[in-house]
Amino acid sequence: MHACARARQKSKTYWCVFDIAGKEDQRKELQEESEAPGFWENPQHAQKVMRGLSQLSESIESWQKIQVRLDDALELAALSDDALIDELSAETEAIEGEIEQREFRAMFSGEFDRGDAILAIHAGAGGTDSQDWAEMLQRMYLRWMEKHDYETEVIDLTPGEEAGIKSVTITVGGRYAYGYLRAEKGVHRLVRLSPFDANNRRHTSFAMVEVLPQVDGDFEIEINTNDLRIDVFKSAGAGGQNVQKNATAVRITHLPTGIVATCQNERSQTQNRELAMKVLKARLLEIKERERAEKIEELRGEYTKAEWGSQIRSYVLHPYKMVKDHRTDHEVGNAEGVLDGDLDSFIEAYLRANLGGENSS
């Protein structure tokens, strides 16, 4: 009974903190707007309203379901039936876990946190070792995405000369994909005995992880077609050999910024061009957002430029085994588990440290 009461009190507290009543008012306003004549005359605005309506409905209805489950559990507890103790305990624990999960997701207050992501990995200096490290990171993230049921697609991959990869770009589809993965953005450092060193010496390798939000129609990035150079070429496989007879891979260069976006996964040149443009828009949006943030930080006197050498996390496999995040000091000794996709504790530590004060369900 005590656990049920505690869970119900938590639910009541969060019902107020997340302003469910206010969300119900917002949903009503959006519903009325969506039913107004001429609503679909502006498709982009209409889609934004419908997306907001869907998100509000999901948030409200999920809390209502929790409330129903709590009421049912309290009714069972009132029966004082010893045969129901185990069932009641399991249900109460599940409800508390659901409430805590919703509390955690309330940290995703960024404009793009609920949406899809683009993750890119770039091998740093260090030749084959760094390229092998980039491929290890690719495997780590794909394992993590698989565990969380995200839809993934490798849209561009450049193999290394001897082993590993020089770079890879992956689209990640699913709720909160960008909100979670933004915690991984930065330089990742590996320390190990190199399998490519005949003398079996210890090497340090670096790779850059880039995380971008997938840009939808609400965030139009103005791109002058005269500023683009579009190259078409044959897709390359391992060792650099061409794997398609027709030139379907697309490389788009944004001349004013030098940003390059490539896609060579699809068989259709049109599809590759669309995906490459999506990546280009995401990178241009990131520049725009970063410039805005830097301007605010400069005005506050807090701006410090992030350089390539400032790694966010170290993965040490020799002389001991440990993975440590330098932003939060969170560390674990099971390095193999982390490299096998067990990243949740690092992501949660980062989000709690950086977003804990920005509640928005």
What is the pLDDT, as a whole number, of residue 305?
Answer: 46
User: pLDDT, tens digit, for every residue of 108-121?
Assistant: 777 788 889 999 99
What is the pLDDT, as a whole number, of residue 88?
Answer: 80
* Topology of domain 112-214+327-361, CATH: Alpha-Beta Plaits (3.30.70)
What is the pLDDT, as a whole number, of residue 345?
Answer: 95
Most confident of 131-145, 248-262, 309-323: 131-145
What is the pLDDT, as a whole number, of residue 295?
Answer: 65
Query: E strand or H helix at 322, and its extent?
Result: strand 322-325
Using the predicted structure, report yes or no on whether residue 293 has a pLDDT greater than 80. no
Using the predicted structure, report yes or no on whether residue 86 has a pLDDT greater than 70. yes
User: How far is the C-alpha of 115 from the C-alpha of 174, rounded, in Å?
Assistant: 7
289 is written with which tokens? Answer: 């957002």
CB-based burial, 230-249: b 16+ in 10 Å, e otherwise: eeeeebbeeeeeeeeeeebb
Most confident of 47-61, 88-102, 146-160, 261-275: 146-160
Using the predicted structure, report yes or no on whether residue 147 has a pLDDT greater than 70. yes
Q: Residue 148 — pLDDT band, cuts 50, 70, 90?
A: very high
What is the pLDDT, as a whole number, of residue 360?
Answer: 38
Which residues share a beta bridge with 203?
192
**What value does the mean pLDDT of the chain take?**
83
Q: Which strand ranges, in their side-by-side order, compose the sheet holding 228-233?
A: 228-233, 249-254, 259-263
Question: Lowest-pLDDT range, 72-86, 123-137, 166-180?
Answer: 72-86
Question: Please, what CATH class does the domain formed by 218-301 belong to?
Answer: alpha beta
Using the predicted structure, report yes or no on whether residue 82 has a pLDDT greater than 90. no
Long-range contacts of 295-299 (CB under 8 A, 24+ apart): none
Helix (H, G, I), strand (E, B) or coil at 139: helix
68 is written with which tokens? Answer: 């129903």
Comparing 23 with 203, the larger pLDDT belongs to 203
User: pLDDT, tens digit, for every residue of 153-189?
Assistant: 999 999 998 999 999 999 999 988 999 999 999 999 9
What is the pLDDT, as a whole number, of residue 220?
Answer: 62
Q: Residue 217 — pLDDT band, cuts 50, 70, 90?
A: low
- Which residue from 263, 269, 265, 267 is spatially nearest to 251, judged by alpha carbons? 263
Most confident of 20-34, 54-68, 141-155, 264-278: 141-155
Most confident of 78-92, 96-110, 128-142, 261-275: 128-142
Question: Lowest-pLDDT range, 4-18, 46-60, 135-149, 221-235?
Answer: 4-18
User: How far is the C-alpha of 191 from the C-alpha of 133, rounded, in Å?
Assistant: 10
Comparing 164 with 8, the larger pLDDT belongs to 164
Comparing 256 with 242, the larger pLDDT belongs to 256
Domain range annotation of the chain = 2-105, 112-214+327-361, 218-301
Q: Which CATH architecture has domain 2-105?
A: Up-down Bundle (1.20)
Rounded to an integer, the average pLDDT of 272-288 is 89
226 is written with which tokens? Answer: 């005269």
